[in-house]
Amino acid sequence: MNEQIVEMNVNNLVETYAFEKVAKQASGAVMYTQGKAVLIAAVAIDEKAVDEDFLPLTVQYMEKSYAAAKIPGGFIKRETKPGDFETLTSRIIDRSLRPLFPVGFHYPVTITVMVVSSDENVDMQVAGLHAANAALFVSDIPVSTSITAVRVGTEGDDLVINPTLTQQAKSELDLLVVGTGKDVVMIEMRTLASEGENGQETNAFSEDALVDVIEMATEAIEKATVAYTEAFTPNVREALTLTLAEDKVDESLYAMIASTYADDVEKAIAHMAKSERSSELKKIRTRILEVLESEGKEADKTLVTKVLERYKKTVVRAMILDKNIRADGRELDEVRPISIETNLLPSVHGSCLFTRGQTQALVTVTLGDKKDAQMYELITERSSQSEKFMVHYNFPGYSVGEAKYIGAPGRRELGHGNLGKRAMEPTIPLHYDGSIRLVSEILESNGSSSMATICGGSLALRAAEVNTTALVAGIAMGLVTDGSKYAVLTDIMGLEDHDGDMDFKVAGTSEGITALQMDIKLGGIDMAVLKDALTQASKGKNHILALMEEAAQSIETSDALPSTEHFSVHPSKIVDIIGKAGATIREIIERFEVSIDLDRDAGGVKLSGGDKNKVAEAKAHIESIASSPVKKQMEYKVGESYEGKVKRIVDFGLFVEMPDGFDALLHISKVAKERVNNLPERYSEGDAITVVVMEQKGKKVELATPDFLA
């Protein structure tokens, strides 16, 4: 097949798709161009299905340094570990494309997206999604649905579809909606703080306003999906003949479980902890296998496990839809019991132990200087960036009762940490003078630990005396529907997430939403259902915020919290504070155990230290240095003699302290008529010396000795 070029201009994006041009041995591939950005997306399949009941899909989004005409920094000059942006983009592409695969598709698939040419004004996440989607759509894998990604931002009071990166930088909203036709597959949203008339504004979006924006995005998605499908269809390869795993259920076994073990299954469901519930279900499975063996029937452990799981899911959903009963007995809109403890760690700047039901997060905040910020690079930026607010999320296996080695953070940990950062960042002071590292250790998990991270994190920031504009709470919502009726669930636990139809995380202040993440397991979601979910989420969020506000009132300052002093001195005194070769400032740092940041131009001084008394003493010491009269250089008469003092002896001469206190250089060639080879034999530091001014140009004074002039 010859190269096929498809040019598109939809939703403010001018894109070119080149099919059958590159990677022709892959199952499907495309060279995607938007502006100066060029991406190559390729799909490959292993035609041997796995035995497990899941889709083994791997997505890798990679940015090549050469794409921005750069050589990788550091010792190793090739791309190695993916950056956070690459990992998060891979996760977004995975979550968007995974729902497109047919039920029973258990073949390993890899989707690789490489950025080989960058453009500082192109949204790489949207570009990566579209490139991956095109490669998958035209591949020989039986996926016949195209998705579209739409990002919505603001420009003043106007909404902008697919803004450029320049527009995004000034936007108060960052909303990414991915869908196909009228169906939404995934939503990511955050707001950005800005300067308002009365200071910093958090820019939380109201629930009603957000629904309207999402509805506008879905209209753009529907239009684009039709255009992409029509344009790509002629380039689709002949589909592979693949056998999809059938979701067979032994009807007689299912009926036996339903009639004999219904009460046992309901009791097992009532065990809230995953480990306890799993243990009870295993006991039921064992009894079923024993009964089957005693009756001389085939006892297939795998089959019994599968049928029992199917029956359990049916029971959970029926309890919710038909009886409005949840596994733990809560009302549909009820939040689990919450307990909050702040600054429980004495040697930590700020800490909070946030427990909601059987989900528990220990969140800590550490304050640092500007130099402690995380440096990183983006392919769309020319220079390195600095991350002043860092959120690190850790999910050890023991939090869900698993014996699991703790290694480097995976995509899930990075994704949850990023969600927490997006939720809390709008409340951090815009001009915060320093760095903040927030770490969430998940100690127990049965429900959304990322939302517990946000709740505990917002309080930990307050406990560390970070002057946030508002507290932020997060809540996870769920949905169960049979097509004709639905139930929205507040504060879902793990069981409801697993057996439900939607995972919908909402975070925000009392004013509205600052961050949102939604993954839909259905074909799509009706806007009326979405509005109900947001309204119910707001009620739950405000309930949690009320408890957080109460806890914030009783925060006791940590003894470990560093003391910080900001003050100003005359800019000319900065050089005195630093001292010769940095000797004075080093002595202050060591003597008072403080860190010092100086602004040479403005004369600003920032002192930080763990001991408030020592910080105060250091401030007094610096102010005493700065309080001495400002030295003014004398106007010397050329040819006149002056009495000075030898301050320092160097190979090329002497530094002489003149009567005005400033130093001037007496070059070795101006000491005597005859050549002097060893100055230390003739002079010592501190000696009085008579010098003659030969020339003065501004602050530069040239000297000679009377011996030289004789």
Distances (CA, A) of 435 to 191, 350, 375, 390, 423: 21, 14, 12, 8, 17
Top pLDDT among 660 and 230 is at: 230
Residues, the chain, total? 710
Cβ 492 vs Cβ 357: under 8 Å: no
3-state secondary structure of 329: coil
User: Whole-angstrom Cα distance, residue 57 to residue 111?
Assistant: 8
Mark residue 468 as left, alpha or beta (left: phi above 0; alpha: psi -120 to 50; beta: remaining).
beta
Taking all residues of the chain, what is their mean pLDDT, rounded to a whole number? 89
Tokens standing for residue 69: 């005409």
Return the structure tokens found at 48: 């041997």
In this structure, the number of other CB atoms found within 10 A of the CB of residue 445 comes to: 23
Q: Is the pLDDT of residue 76 over 90?
A: no
pLDDT at 342 over 80: yes
pTM of the model: 0.82
Query: Residue 253 pLDDT more than 90?
Result: no
Report pLDDT for 629: 67
Question: Quick check: 120 and 219 in contact, CB under 8 A?
Answer: no
For the segment 438-460, the average pLDDT, to the nearest whole number, is 95
Average pLDDT over residues 404-416: 90
Which pair of tokens denotes residue 146? 């195209």
DSSP per residue, 673-690 = SSPPS-HHHH--TT-EEE
**Quick one: what percent of the chain has pLDDT higher than 70?**
96
In the structure, what pLDDT confidence band is assigned to residue 201 with cuts at 50, 70 and 90?
Answer: low
How far is it, in rounded angstroms, from Cα 686 to Cα 391?
55
- 45 neighbors 240 (Cβ within 8 angstroms): yes
Q: What backbone phi and psi angles, to 5 degrees, belong to 9?
A: -140, 85
Tens-digit pLDDT profile for residues 221-237: 999 999 999 999 999 99
For the stretch 316-321, contacts whose Cβ atoms lie closer than 8 Å and that sit 24 or more positions apart, written own/partner, are 316/269, 316/495, 316/496, 316/499, 317/480, 317/482, 317/499, 317/500, 319/266, 319/269, 320/480, 320/487, 320/489, 320/496, 321/480, 321/481, 321/482, 321/485, 321/486, 321/487
For 126, 347, 462, the CA distances from 558, given in Å and listed in that order, are 44, 8, 11
Q: What confidence score (pLDDT) does residue 680 get? A: 84
Q: Report pLDDT for 631.
A: 60
Q: What domains does the chain contain, in order, with CATH numbers?
A: 4-235 (3.30.230.70), 251-323 (1.10.10), 338-552 (3.30.230.70), 563-627 (3.30.1370.10), 641-709 (2.40.50.140)
Half-sphere exposure of 569 (CA within 13 A, CB side): 28
Asked if residue 300 has pLDDT above 80, the reply is no
Report strand pairing: 350-356 vs 594-599.
Answer: unpaired
What is the C-alpha R_g of the chain? Answer: 34
Band of the pLDDT at 274, cuts 50, 70, 90?
low
> What is the DSSP secondary-structure string of 280-314?
HHHHHHHHHHHHHHHTT----HHHHHHHHHHHHHH
Q: What is the DSSP track for 408-468?
A: S--HHHHHHHHHHHHHHGGGS-TT-SSEEEEEEEEEE-SS-HHHHHHHHHHHHHHHTT---
Helix, strand, coil abundance in the chain, percent, nearest 5: 35, 30, 35
What confidence score (pLDDT) does residue 522 get? 67
Q: How far, in Å, are 191, 576, 585 from residue 580 at the CA level? A: 48, 8, 9
pLDDT digit string (tens) for 547-572? 999 999 999 989 888 888 888 888 88
Find where tokens 């942006």 sit: 85
Q: pLDDT grade, residue 108 (50/70/90)?
A: very high
With a cut of 70, say whether residue 510 has pLDDT above it.
yes
Instruction: Decide: residue 647, CB within 10 A, 0-12 exposed, 13-18 middle, 19+ buried.
Output: middle
The winner for highest mean pLDDT among 359-373, 490-504, 625-639 is 359-373
Confidence category of residue 356, pLDDT binned at 50, 70, 90: very high
Question: Could you tell me if residue 593 is left (phi over 0), alpha (psi between -120 and 50 degrees) or otherwise beta?
Answer: left
Are β-strands 350-356 and 338-342 bridged in parallel, bridged antiparallel, or unpaired? antiparallel
Of 91-105, 329-343, 614-628, 670-684, least confident by mean pLDDT is: 670-684
Report the alpha-carbon distance of residue 288 to residue 295 in Å, rounded. 11
Residue 273 has a pLDDT of 62
For the chain, report the end-to-end CA distance as a whole number of angstroms: 96
> Which helix (H) or strand (E) is 127 found in, with range?
helix 124-137
Give 27-75 pLDDT, tens digit per residue.
Answer: 999 999 999 999 999 999 999 999 888 899 999 999 999 999 988 877 8
Token digits of residue 366:
């550490």
Question: Mean per-residue pLDDT for 257-269?
Answer: 84
Three-state SS sequence of 209-248: HHHHHHHHHHHHHHHHHHHHHHHHHHHCCCCCCCCCCCCC
Instruction: Inform me whether the pLDDT recorded for 272 exceeds 60.
Output: no
